[in-house]
Amino acid sequence: MATPDISIAITCWRMDRELPRTLWSLSRAFQQDAEGLSWEIIVVDNGSEHLPIAPEMIPVPQIIAAGNPGPSPVHAMNQALSLARGRIVGAWIDGARMASSGLLAAVARAAEAHPAPVIAVPNRQFGFDRQASATQHGYERSTEDALLAQAGWPDPAADLFAVSWPEEAQVTGPILESNALFLHRDTWSALGGFDPIFTEPGGGMCNPDMLDRALNHPGTQFIRMAGVATFHQIHGGTSTSDAAQAIRIVKEATRNYLRLRGKPPRKQRAPGWLYDARTGVMTRS
């Protein structure tokens, strides 16, 4: 079996509505300008009552049950990463996040610029406010379904940016985490994947910790992305379904991170390089 150019490792839990959309957004039918690119998709379900069902698509996702399911997605995430065969491997720790149609082609081009890239794709949320707040004002699954239909989903020309909200104001601004974090497979191996010390529900600050460790690993290069993103679907997640719960969970995760690492979690402020998927231009700062 030929080695794919890119692997996408995904974790999920009880995402019968959301995961099929995420997977379709990573299908060859949806991803654009990727004719010469090969990729695989590995999904590890973290303890759902039944395995999710993928849409009929190419590539056919590999969907398996976590060998050690638990409240934290870290073990499931590392299991998915261990199965990845691609030279460049992307970690999708939240299976409810859909990809923009040019994401994989842009990642492949950006990865060519450095032997050890740390490619951080921006996070967006469907709707026009942070979902944890929007749910208090009537935002729900049916609202989101209507927004996606309005955008033109599932056509690859769908404008997902027009019906979503950026988690960070600017792609060059401080960033806490990326749900689509792409590293060279050797870098993932050297870092040992996500740290299993993060055992709390939802993984706490395991994702910001992963980005921080990757950026501080010798020889890596931070590459920010413009013109592509992932888009979060509402699904009752630990920090996106209720404002009060989100505040409580973030505070608890921050305290736990401080206890584990001896410092508070901080947003990454280094400018890094910026790859603009719309123009194909890499700006090296």
With a pLDDT cut of 90, the percent of the chain lying above it is: 89
**Quick one: pLDDT at residue 48?**
97
DSSP letter string, 95-121: TTEEEPTTHHHHHHHHHTT-SSEEEEE
Q: Is the pLDDT of residue 240 over 60?
A: no
CATH code of the domain in which 184 resides: 3.90.550.10
- Determine, yes or no, domain membership for 1: no
CA 220 to CA 68: how far, in whole Å? Answer: 31
**Quick one: pLDDT at residue 277?**
98
- Report residue 3's pLDDT band, with 50, 70 and 90 as the boundaries: very high
- Determine, yes or no, domain membership for 205: yes
Q: Is the pLDDT of residue 107 over 70?
A: yes
Would you tell me how many other CB atoms lie within 10 Å of the CB of residue 267? 13
With a pLDDT cut of 70, the percent of the chain lying above it is: 98
CA 54 to CA 21: how far, in whole Å? Answer: 9
Tokens 């910026």 belong to which residue? Answer: 274
Q: 154-167 pLDDT, tens per residue? A: 999 999 999 999 99
- Determine, yes or no, domain membership for 168: yes
Contact 220, 214 (CB under 8 A): yes
**Quick one: pLDDT at residue 135?**
86
- Report residue 241's pLDDT band, with 50, 70 and 90 as the boundaries: low
Print the domain residue range for 214: 6-284
**Quick one: pLDDT at residue 280?**
97
pTM here is 0.95
CA 273 to CA 252: how far, in whole Å? Answer: 33
Q: Is the pLDDT of residue 245 over 80?
A: no
Read off φ and ψ for residue 16, nearest 5 degrees: -60, -35
Count of domains for the chain: 1
